[in-house]
Amino acid sequence: MDVTIFDLRYEQLDDKRYKAARGILEEDPISGEEFLKTLSEEPELLIGVFIGETLVALAQVEYSTIQSYISVFVAPKFRRKGIGTAVIRHEEDKLRESGTQKILGSFHYDNNESLIFARKFGYQEYFYSTLMQRTGEPFPIETLPVRPYSDNDYLASQALQAKAFHEMRIRVGCFPDSEITQPSTKGREEWKEDEHNRFIYEVNGEIVAYGNLCGNEISSVSVRSDYQGYGIGRKFVMYLCNEIYHRGYEVVDLWCVVGNYARKLYDSLGFEAKYIVEFTRKTL
């Protein structure tokens, strides 16, 4: 019998459910890989979905007024019972009520079943991104003009990152409605809360590059357009890799949008492509 919305209970994942969450994810480590990473690094982003006291699914939902993100993992033995459908409908209703206009989703490129499921709910092809990983020794690099981010850097570094990502999206050609993200009070607060993971590259006292880490991942790295082509991006990526190694990780991850020129840089630094994810998008 299929499950309805009313059969399910949603709770923010807590420490008591951590073991159960890891258990269902490890039953399908390919589909659950990104969830496992989130569970280790940012478990507060995960919502547990229960039937009675049994954890049957996990949802990752990231709220934003304009464009939010949702991803759902259903425990293998509870699939094909309507749980995924119920969770998607439940979370879409919440996002719609919060004012979200568009929803992003993501699926392994070769996971045809998940892609069919996404199309069924109106999620259309948006762009593709490759997970790249580097293992090995830290880079032997010179002392660089890199320092930790502080709150006073917000406006300059946010503007730099927003412009660089917009320019990349335009070059790739999959983002016809790309806009330059504007600074905000909420964004500034979020950057401040996570400032120990943010770094600034300076030249003559000016911020020319900005980078952000999340666990073992380089989640963003941007170089000001008038300073591109001088090797700053290469040096900065090497620095950020070394910082991740210094923190005790053996593998460095990063995502590279398919078609991004930076792929050549990552290849040259020893990063290897692991798999491709298709990002989908739906307008509410």
Domains, the chain, ordered by start = 5-100 (3.40.630.30), 135-275 (3.40.630.30)
Label each residue of the chain as H, E or C. CCCCHHHCEEEECCHHHHHHHHHHHHCCCCCCHHHHHHHHHCHHHEEEEEECCEEEEEEEEECCCCEEEEEEEECHHHCCCCHHHHHHHHHHHHHHHHCCCEEEEEEECCCHHHHHHHHHCCCEEEEEEEEEEEECCCCCCCCCCEEECCHHHHHHHHHHHHHHHHHHHHHHCCCCCCCCCCCCHHHHHHHHHCHHHEEEEEECCEEEEEEEEECCEEEEEEECHHHCCCCHHHHHHHHHHHHHHHCCCCEEEEEEECCCCCHHHHHHCCCEEEEEEEEEEEEC
pLDDT tens, N- to C-terminus, the chain (284 residues): 566 666 899 999 888 888 999 999 999 888 888 899 889 888 888 999 999 889 999 999 888 778 899 999 999 999 888 898 899 999 999 998 888 989 998 877 666 777 788 888 888 989 999 999 999 999 999 999 999 999 999 999 999 999 999 999 999 988 888 889 999 998 999 999 999 999 999 999 999 999 999 999 999 999 998 999 999 999 999 999 999 999 999 999 999 999 999 999 999 999 999 989 889 999 98
